[in-house]
């Protein structure tokens, strides 16, 4: 469950949830399907209500202090809720939040950034929040074997390419992936593979594009580069025989799907594969319908493919 923590005190074991810009916009299907999965697994997160944009990867090119103050404010809001753990579902958000944590470990930097926050009327940040991706949260809190026992509609026969994207495990100095207990392997991530496998899918574990860049950072500055990167994600998925690509990041999902027409023009219809959020597939496996999982919202229309395969 994703709840609002308005007026509520600290809740042991319940993390703060940072939505970021995408989850209240084009990535709404991701949040809705996250909600379905969490509800069925009995997991709870409390939404940070008064959140702001994290600045993603762009703002640091304009101002280092602003690029740290934006995510630091969100972490400060989580701490003001009494939470130590902060969950985000976007690779870019996790990058931004963990980058701020790394910088603010330096006392002089923390003092400077907190002075900016205080001038804006925000609480100071103590540097004590622990940031995780929602993929890690579901994998570690629910557990692969428990999820396997809760599957109601196995994803049998679906060949899925697990796409982590470039910022899930990079840079590990920020994310802690591979260096902090309970985190994934930075070179060969497997948490998504395990979750999809527990849901009954045939996971294409040797999918070579699973951690390459989708080109999202170039979408406005160099569209040709963005399309080429997205096409690589599609081409490799098709080459290994994928029925679907499962993503863990709204920026990656949206960028790839926004580029579908251009990929089609450049490479042909035959390279295209429907793209889903991993939580949409998990929701189906845990008993939700195609409609409830909002699969019609995806530009690549995986709902049509899944209905044809017998999913209600």
CATH number, domain with residue 287: 3.40.50
When pLDDT is cut at 50, 70 and 90, the band that residue 226 belongs to is: confident
Q: Name the range with the highest mean pLDDT among 57-71, 118-132, 163-177, 258-272.
A: 118-132
Supply the DSSP string of 196-247, one letter for each residue: HHHTT-EE-TT-TTTTS--SGGGTTT-HHHHHHHHHHHHHHHHHTT-SEEEE
204 and 125 within one domain: no
Please check the confidence at residue 302 and state whether its pLDDT lies above 80: yes
CA dihedral sign of residues 12, 192, 105, 124: negative
How confident is the model at residue 187, as a pLDDT?
Answer: 87
> Is residue 140 included in any domain, yes or no?
no
Please check the confidence at residue 128 and state whether its pLDDT lies above 60: yes
How confident is the model at residue 7, as a pLDDT?
Answer: 44
Task: Single out the residue in 133, 164, 190 at which a domain terminates.
Answer: 133
Contacts 24+ apart (CB under 8 A), 154-158: 154/199, 154/200, 154/285, 155/196, 155/199, 155/200, 155/201, 155/281, 155/284, 155/285, 156/200, 156/201, 157/202, 157/309, 158/200, 158/201, 158/202, 158/243, 158/244, 158/281, 158/309
16 and 52 within one domain: yes
- Structural domains counted in the chain: 2
How confident is the model at residue 259, as a pLDDT?
Answer: 92
pLDDT digits (tens, 9 = 90+) for 278-294: 999 999 999 999 999 99
How confident is the model at residue 60, as a pLDDT?
Answer: 65
How confident is the model at residue 73, as a pLDDT?
Answer: 98
When pLDDT is cut at 50, 70 and 90, the band that residue 186 belongs to is: confident
304 and 174 within one domain: yes
How confident is the model at residue 266, as a pLDDT?
Answer: 87
How confident is the model at residue 62, as a pLDDT?
Answer: 72
| Average pLDDT, integer, range 149-171 | 95
Contact at 8 Å (CB) between 194 and 248?
Answer: no
Domain hosting residue 68, numbered range: 2-133
CATH number, domain with residue 7: 1.20.1050.140
When pLDDT is cut at 50, 70 and 90, the band that residue 134 belongs to is: very high
Which range is least confidently modeled, 36-50, 101-115, 161-175? 161-175
How confident is the model at residue 55, as a pLDDT?
Answer: 87
When pLDDT is cut at 50, 70 and 90, the band that residue 10 belongs to is: low
54 and 122 within one domain: yes
Largest CA distance in the chain: 58
Contacts 24+ apart (CB under 8 A), 124-130: 124/76, 125/72, 125/73, 125/75, 125/76, 125/79, 126/76, 126/79, 127/101, 128/79, 128/84, 129/16, 129/75, 129/78, 129/79, 129/83, 129/84, 129/85, 129/86, 129/97, 129/101, 130/84, 130/85, 130/86
pLDDT greater at residue 223 or residue 167: 167
Task: Single out the residue in 64, 99, 133 at which a domain terminates.
Answer: 133
Please check the confidence at residue 11 and state whether its pLDDT lies above 90: no
Between CA 92 and CA 78 the distance in angstroms is: 18
Please check the confidence at residue 268 and state whether its pLDDT lies above 60: yes
Please check the confidence at residue 276 and state whether its pLDDT lies above 70: yes
What DSSP designation does 159 have?
A: E
Between CA 203 and CA 246 the distance in angstroms is: 10
């Amino acid at each position: 469950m994703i709840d609002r923590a308005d007026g509520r005190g600290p809740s042991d074991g319940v993390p703060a949830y940072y939505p970021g810009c995408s989850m209240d916009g084009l990535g709404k299907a991701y949040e809705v399907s996250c909600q379905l999965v969490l509800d069925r697994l009995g997991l709870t997160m409390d939404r940070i209500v008064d959140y702001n944009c994290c600045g993603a990867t762009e703002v640091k090119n304009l101002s280092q202090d602003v690029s740290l103050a934006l995510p630091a404010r969100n972490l400060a809001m989580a701490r003001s809720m009494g939470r130590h753990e902060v969950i985000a579902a976007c690779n870019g958000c996790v990058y931004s939040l963990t980058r701020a944590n790394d910088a603010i470990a330096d006392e002089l930097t923390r003092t400077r950034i907190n002075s900016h926050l205080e001038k804006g009327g925000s609480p100071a940040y103590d540097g004590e929040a622990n940031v995780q991706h929602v993929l890690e949260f579901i994998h570690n809190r629910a557990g692969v074997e428990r999820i396997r026992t809760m599957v109601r509609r196995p994803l049998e026969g679906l060949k899925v390419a697990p796409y982590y994207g470039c910022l899930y495990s990079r840079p590990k100095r920020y994310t802690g992936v591979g260096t902090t207990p309970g985190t994934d392997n930075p070179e060969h991530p497997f948490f998504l593979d395990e979750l999809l496998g527990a849901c009954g899918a045939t996971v294409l574990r040797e999918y070579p594009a699973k951690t390459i860049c989708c080109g999202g950072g170039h979408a406005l500055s160099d569209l040709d580069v963005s399309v080429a990167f997205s096409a690589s994600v599609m081409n490799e998925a098709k080459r290994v025989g994928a029925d679907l690509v499962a993503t863990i990041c709204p920026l990656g999902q949206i960028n790839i799907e926004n580029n579908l027409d251009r990929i089609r023009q450049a490479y042909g219809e035959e390279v295209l594969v429907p793209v889903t959020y991993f939580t949409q597939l998990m929701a189906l496996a845990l008993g939700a319908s195609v409609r409830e999982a909002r699969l019609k919202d995806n530009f690549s229309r995986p709902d049509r493919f899944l209905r044809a395969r017998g999913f209600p």
